[in-house]
Amino acid sequence: TTDAPPAEDISADDIFIAVKTTKKFHRSRLDLLLDTWISRNMRQVCPFTLLQTVCIRSHAINTNCSAAHSRQALSCKMAVEYDKFIESGKKWFCHVDDDNYVNMKTLHTHTHTHTLVRPVNFWFATGGAGFCVSRGLALKMSPWASGGHFMNTAEKIRLPDDCTIGYIIESVLGVPLTRSSLFHSHLENLQQVSKSEVHKQITLSYGMFENKRNIINMKGAFSVEEDPSRFKSVHCLLYPDTPWCPPQVTY
């Protein structure tokens, strides 16, 4: 026997995914996500894509949070994400940034075995890899996370939004976070993720480190020049029937 919660069948429709973004990244980041993983998961994602000032899809949520990259502005968005999740009635809440690729096929086969999945670098990173919280746990967080409480909690500890989530779960509620090595941020060396392992990963990212690209290590459908994030190549690997993917050569 184990302490794991009883396995429950989770379908993609049970998951609420909030993508944090801001107007200045709509072109450079969000369009890529809409063309790739979000296009296959509209029902899960689009209603909850959090935008700052402009609604580019009818479902997107304008948070009215400040456009600054301040701690207050970011926790304002996280508070909206949390409240929208509670309202949605869904079973799992997942949060990602707009520089993450979410592999939905793998995400929902993993959520039912974990009370919470999140990056190993949680306490030191400003998010960037994503995390998920079950509904049961999210409801217990309510006194510190719902309505205006999230902002107050974040102000009290003076830490970023994702650290506030961790603080409420681990320090206030005493629930240990389940670390997962399948969530990736650009604060780690993404070269260590290879093409053969892409299918298993839950989130991916891309970025720059010391003036060099920090991207996953894969030869794919598109060159690095055509696809600097590698997300288009990842998407063609996971969904080869996508119309804009080059035809598969089979022997």
Active site residues: 162
CB of 101 to Mn ion, least distance (A): 12
Q: Supply the DSSP string of 159-215, one letter for each residue.
A: --HHHHHHIIIIIIS-PPP-B-TT---TTS-GGGSBGGGGGG-SEEE-EEETTEEE-
Q: Which one of the spans 97-105, 132-140, 175-183, 209-217 is the region binding ligand UDP (CB under 6 A)?
A: 97-105
**In sequence order, what are the residues at sequence separation of 6 or more whose Cβ sits closer than 8 angstroms to the Cβ of residue 73?**
65, 66, 67
Nearer to ligand UDP, 119 or 128 (CB): 128
Report the sign of the C-alpha dihedral through residues 208, 210, 215, 218, in that order.
positive
Task: Check if the beta carbon of residue 186 is closer than 8 Å to that of residue 206.
Answer: yes
Pick from 34, 71, 84, 99 the residue near ligand UDP by CB under 6 A.
99
Q: Is 23 in the site for ligand UDP (CB under 6 A)?
A: no
Burial profile 74-95: b = 16 or more Cβ within 10 angstroms, e = fewer = bbbbbbbbbbbbbeeebbbbbb
Q: How many residues bind Mn ion (CB under 5 A)?
A: 2
Residue 126 Cβ vs ligand UDP, minimum distance, rounded to whole Å: 4
**Helix, strand, coil share of the chain (percent; to 5):** 40, 15, 45
Pick the stretch among 39-47, 92-100, 164-172, 239-247 that binds ligand UDP (CB under 6 A). Answer: 92-100
Rule CB under 6 A: choose which of 84, 101, 128, 201 binds ligand UDP.
Answer: 128
Cross-strand partners of 127:
none
**What are the residues whose beta carbons fall under 8 Å from the beta carbon of 83, sequence distance 6 or more?**
146, 147
Q: Does residue number 69 form part of the binding site for ligand UDP (CB under 6 A)? A: yes
Residue written as token pair 């409240």: 83
Strand-strand pairing, 49-51 and 15-20:
parallel
- Among 123-131, 175-183, 221-229, 236-244, which window interacts with Mn ion (CB under 5 A)? 123-131
The residue from 45, 104, 108, 128 that contacts Mn ion (CB under 5 A) is 128
CB of 78 to ligand UDP, least distance (A): 10
Q: Looking at 34-42, 96-104, 132-140, 165-173, which segment touches ligand UDP (CB under 6 A)?
A: 96-104
Whether the CB-CB separation of 95 and 20 falls below 8 Å is answered with yes
Q: Which of 10, 78, 97, 138 is the binder for ligand UDP (CB under 6 A)?
A: 97
Nearest residue (CB) to ligand UDP, 38 versus 236? 38
Where does this chain bind Mn ion (CB under 5 A)?
A: 99, 128
Where does this chain bind ligand UDP (CB under 6 A)?
A: 20-22, 25, 67-69, 97-99, 126, 128
